[in-house]
A and B are shown apart, each in its own frame.
Chain A
Amino acid sequence: MSVAVRQPGPVIESEPIRSRRGIVWQTIKQRPSATIGAGILLVVVVCAVLAPWIAPYDPHEQVGPVFGHPSWKHPLGLDDGGIDMVSLLMWGCRISLVVGFAATFVSMVIGGTVGVAAGYFGGRTDNVLMRITDYFLVIPDVPLMIIVAAIWGPSLFHIVIVIGILLWTSTARVIRAQVKSVRERVYVKRARALGAGHSRVILRHVLPQVAPLLIANTVLTIAVAIFDETALAFLGLGDPSRISLGKVIENAFQRAAISTGAWWAIVPPGALVAVIILGCSLLGGAIEDALNPRLRVAHLSARSFKLRPLVGRGPEAV
C-alpha cells in the first residue's frame, strides 16, 4: 500500500542490524497504512473505555419501539428490544475488546514463552516444543473452541481461555525464528562469555530485539481473537449476560432483523467488527513489513524498474 522511503544506508553485515528501538512508533509515523490502523484502534478503544460516560442511553433500557427506524434521536435506530443501537455498539465494543485483549494476552504469554525457549535453547527443547506447536497448528481451532465452549458452558472467562490457548502457534513459530537469529549475534555471545545468566541474556538482549515482532503479532492476534469471539457468539456460545459485538449480531439474526427489514440492527455491528479487524491488520501488517527488509523490492516491480537506475544504490538495493 505504501512504499517507505528507502535510504541506501551503509550495510554492515549481510543481515542489517538496525536499531529496533522505536521501530513501532516510527512505522506508525511514517507509513500511512499504519497511521490509519493505529487511528482506528485508538478511536475504538477510547469509545469503548468511555462508554459508561459518553453512551447516550442505557444499553439495557427500552427507549423506543422495537426495531425503531434511525432518527435524529437514535442515529442507528433501535434493536429488537427497543434499545438504542449506538449505545449498544459502544458497550458491545467493550466486551469484544476485553475478550480480544485478554485472549491475546494469554496466547502471547504461551506463544512468546514457547518461541523464546525453543529458539534460545535449541536442540532437544526446540525439537519437542516445535513438534507440539506443529500439532496444534494443524488441529482446526474453531471447531475445537466450539466443543470446549459447548462442554464448559458459556462464560466470558471460558471464552477467553479457550481462544487464548488455541491462538499461540503462529506467534511461537515467528518468535522462535527471530530468537534463533538473535542468539547468534556477536553481542549475545559476548554477554554469555562475560558470564551473564540465561535469564539475563533473554531479558536484556533477546527480548528487546524480538519486542517489535511480538507487538506486530499481538496486534494481529487481537484481530483473530475478536473474530473468534464473534463466531462463537453467533453460534450461541457467547456469555448470555454480556453484550459483545458478536452477541449483537447473533441477536439481530435470531430475532429476524433481516426479514423485518431492520438492516440497521445487523449492518453496523458487523461493520464495526470488520473495521476493528481492519485496523489491527493494517497496523500489524505494516510493522511486520517494516521488520522484513526482503519485502522492500519496489525497484524491481514493473513501473519503477525503469525509473530508478540501480547504479550507486549499494548492495542492499539488489
Chain B
Amino acid sequence: MRGADYVLKRLVFAVLTVFIAVTINFALFRLAPGSAVTNLARVPHATPQTRLALKRQFGLDKSKFQQYVIYLQQLAHGNLGISFANSQPVSANLRTALINTIPMVFLGTLFAIVLGTITGIISAWRRGTKAEGASIVTALTFYSMPTHWLGLMLVILFAGVLPTGGMSNEFLINPSFTTHVRDLAEHIALPALTLGLVLYGEYTLIVRSAMLETLGEDYVLTARAKGLKPWAVLRRHALRNAMLPITTLIALSLGYIVAGAILIETVFSWPGIGRAVYDAVLQRDYPMLQGAFLVLTISVVFFNLIADLLYFRLDPRITE
C-alpha cells in the first residue's frame, strides 16, 4: 500500500502548492501600491453598475481577511474578475489564450524532446569523441541564447519565407480547409521552432549527464561483459535507467517552457497566454495578470504531478 501513499502524498503536495500560489497571488495584488478598489475594479469605460458589482463580488471594502475568503469563493466559481483591456471576464480571455498557446508549446516541446534525447544519448555514448564535442557545443550555444533574441534572429533569417507574426493570415477570405491548415502551419513554424531550439539545448545536456551516470553503473559493465550488443546495452540497460532522472528534469524544466512562451509569444505576436501576460503588463491590467499567473502556475504544478506519477510508474521503488 506504500504506492497509494506516495500518490496521495504527491496529490496533496500539488493541491497545497496551488493553494499557496493562490495566496501569493492574492497577497501580491492587495499589497500593491494603490487601493484594491483601484487595482481590481477600475475597469475603464465601465458603467458604475459594473464597478459596484465587482466591489460587491470581491468585497473590496471589507477587511483583508474577509476579502481573502471572498476571493477564494469567487475563484472556486471560476470568477477571476474583469479585464481592464476589453472589459471581458478574465476567465473567458484566458480560455481563448490557452487554446492558442497549447499547440505551439506542444510542437516545440516535442521537437526538443526528440532531438535532445537523440543528441544527448549520442554525446554520452561517444564520450570523448569529436561527435560529443560538437553536439555539446551546439547544445550549449542554443541553451545560452536569450529566448526572445533567438526568436528575433529567426525573424531576420526567415523574413519573407515564413510569416513572422500572428496566428493566421487575416486577409484570407473564406479559405478552403487545406489553405487554412497550411496557413496555420506556416504561422506556427517559427514560434514552435524557437521554443524547440532553446529547449533542445537544455534537454541534450540533461539527457547526456543522466546517461553518463548510468553508463558508470556496474550493471552496464556486466551487460557488456556478458557480450551483449552495444545497442542492447544502451537501450535495455542504460537508457531505461536514465529515464528516471530525465523525466524529473524535463518536468522541472516546465518553468522554462512557461517563461519561454511569454517571450516567444511577445516576439511573434502569438495571441496566447504569454502574450496575454505581456499585454497585461503593458496596460497594467492587474486582473488579467493575476489570472494568467494562476493558470501558468496550475499548469506547471499539474505537469509536475504527472511527472511524479510517471516516475512512480517507471520505478515503483520510489516511495520516499
Residue B56 at the chain A interface, CB threshold 8 Å: no
A237 near B128: Cβ-Cβ < 8 Å: no
What residues of chain B lie closer than 8 Å to A186, measured between beta carbons? none
Of B87-95, B100-108, B259-267, the one touching chain A: B259-267
Residue A294 at the chain B interface, CB threshold 8 Å: yes
Of B24-32, B61-69, B177-185, B189-197, the one touching chain A: B24-32
Report the Cα distance A105→B28, complex, angstroms.
24
Of A74-82, A112-120, A228-236, the one touching chain B: A228-236
Report the Cα distance A303→B126, complex, angstroms.
7
Main secondary structure of the interface of B (DSSP, over half): helix
- Closest residue of A by beta carbon distance from B34: A151
Output the least CB separation between B106 and chain A (Å).
18
What residues of chain A lie closer than 8 Å to B220, measured between beta carbons? 300
How many B residues, CB 8 Å from partner?
68
Residue A157 at the chain B interface, CB threshold 8 Å: no
Report the Cα distance A296→B212, complex, angstroms.
8
B132 near A263: Cβ-Cβ < 8 Å: no
B281 near A249: Cβ-Cβ < 8 Å: no
Report the Cα distance A316→B304, complex, angstroms.
36
What residues of chain A lie closer than 8 Å to B252, measured between beta carbons? 137
A304 near B159: Cβ-Cβ < 8 Å: no
Q: How large is the interface on A (under 10, 10 to 19, 20 to 34, 35 or more residues)?
A: 35 or more
A151 near B278: Cβ-Cβ < 8 Å: no
Main secondary structure of the interface of A (DSSP, over half): helix
- Closest residue of A by beta carbon distance from B281: A150
Residue B6 at the chain A interface, CB threshold 8 Å: no
Residue A278 at the chain B interface, CB threshold 8 Å: yes
Instruction: Give 22 CB contacts A-B under 8 Å.
Output: A140-B258, A140-B297, A142-B259, A143-B259, A143-B297, A144-B24, A147-B293, A151-B28, A151-B33, A235-B266, A253-B267, A266-B149, A266-B156, A273-B146, A277-B145, A278-B140, A281-B144, A295-B216, A297-B215, A301-B125, A303-B126, A304-B127
Interface of A toward B, CB cutoff 8 Å = 1, 3, 134-135, 137-144, 146-148, 150-151, 153, 223, 227, 230-231, 234-237, 246, 249, 253, 258, 263, 266-267, 269-270, 273-275, 277-278, 281-282, 294-298, 300-305, 318
